[in-house]
Amino acid sequence: MSTSTTIDVRGLSKSFGQVQAVTDLSFTVRPGVVTGFLGPNGAGKTTTLRMLLGLVRPSGGSATFGGRAYRELARPLATVGMALEASSFHPGRSARHHLSVYGTAAGIAKNRVDEVLGQVGLGDFADRRVGGYSLGMRQRLGLAFALLGDPGVLVLDEPVNGLDPEGIKWIRSFLRQLAGEGRTVLVSSHLLSEVQQSVDQVVIISRGELVYDGGLAALDGGTRILVDSPDRAGLESALRSAGADVLALEDGLAVTGSSAADVGAMALTAGIPLSRLTPEHTGLEKAFLDLVGEGGRP
């Protein structure tokens, strides 16, 4: 396995005619941790992953693996493993047949096919037609394909989709194990709750733009103070001038890092009446929804 390969996305953009799918996206995915790539449906995740893998030509910017674009990699399957769509396997062929064809073409040792099928729990189903597989089994086959070349980087599009609770539990520990071996693991999902127990870092996009890049734990805002005033704009500017960390919501303001008493005192000092002053514990999911808003597209 080639380890310590970083994924670098710099200024990546893509428009399809009038639709600006991805806008000036920059982030880095590091080895040794699982990174979640999150955003609502239509936010631009698949387009970004397809640009990473050279399947869609960017309108601008670049995506590289250890400094090289996917197309420039000398041994792509041994560098980057990808699972993009669970349904893209020919239904009439077996899992073993599929992986053998790809493996032979890439010069990968024959015994590797059984090894990866065993790793993803498909050992007993290797000779069955893929057409008879459940969605969860096709997801596992996609993962086996991604692992075929023993790559240092894994790019997985919605790998949890279609798995039953047992499968979800399995993939969580499997992804962590792969990262623990020093691999760079990027996993997309439109639901934070689906991946929050598997990921350490998160990159969140909304309407094709980056809205958060950092640790999952830091995203959990802890307790924040919801505050509002008939003069909301005046309150916002007073709180900011007093050094508060303010986020404008649809129905008021949210202040993090200050107590309710502090926020009340700041408003009083500025002579601004309050119509609301409520502490609220923000879970991860809430923080995520605040960030992405209605950030998908129908």
Ligand X SMILES: Nc1ncnc2c1ncn2[C@@H]1O[C@H](COP(=O)(O)OP(=O)(O)OP(=O)(O)O)[C@@H](O)[C@H]1O
State which of residues 47, 79, 196, 282 lies at the interface with ligand X (CB under 6 A): 47
Give the integer Cα–Cα distance in Å for 132 and 239.
60
Dihedral pair phi/psi, residue 262, rounded to 5°? -60, -45
The angle at the Cα of 143, spanning 141 to 147, to the nearest 5 degrees, equals 115
State which of residues 42, 142, 159, 295 lies at the interface with ligand X (CB under 6 A): 42
Nearer to ligand X, 276 or 297 (CB): 297
At its nearest, how many Å lie between ligand X and the CB of residue 189? 8
At its nearest, how many Å lie between ligand X and the CB of residue 37? 9
Select from 5-13, 44-52, 89-97, 192-200 the region that touches ligand X (CB under 6 A). 44-52
Q: Which helix (H) or strand (E) holds 201?
A: strand 201-206
Select from 37-45, 67-75, 128-136, 278-286 the region that touches ligand X (CB under 6 A). 37-45
State which of residues 3, 4, 11, 16 lies at the interface with ligand X (CB under 6 A): 16
207 makes contact with ligand X (CB under 6 A): no
Nearer to ligand X, 15 or 64 (CB): 15
Nearer to ligand X, 45 or 96 (CB): 45
Q: Is the dihedral of CA 36, 40, 43, 47 positive or negative?
A: positive
| Residue 74, both tokens | 């000398």
Strands 184-189 and 153-157: parallel
19 makes contact with ligand X (CB under 6 A): yes
User: Do the Cβ atoms of 155 and 82 come closer than 8 Å?
Assistant: yes
For the chain, how far is it from start to end, CA to CA, in angstroms? Answer: 40
At its nearest, how many Å lie between ligand X and the CB of residue 46? 3
Nearer to ligand X, 169 or 297 (CB): 297
Give the integer Cα–Cα distance in Å for 66 and 79.
10
81 makes contact with ligand X (CB under 6 A): no
State which of residues 41, 88, 173, 278 lies at the interface with ligand X (CB under 6 A): 41
Give the integer Cα–Cα distance in Å for 139 and 86.
5
Give the integer Cα–Cα distance in Å for 273 and 170.
53
45 makes contact with ligand X (CB under 6 A): yes
Q: Which amino acid is at 194?
A: E
Nearer to ligand X, 17 or 67 (CB): 17
State which of residues 97, 190, 232, 286 lies at the interface with ligand X (CB under 6 A): 190
At its nearest, how many Å lie between ligand X and the CB of residue 49? 8
Nearest to 119, CA basis, from 85, 87, 154, 92 = 154
Size of the site for ligand X (CB under 6 A): 13
Give the integer Cα–Cα distance in Å for 9 and 53.
12
Q: DSSP code of 56? A: S
39 makes contact with ligand X (CB under 6 A): yes
- Chain residues binding ligand X by CB under 6 A are 16, 19, 21, 39, 41-47, 190, 297
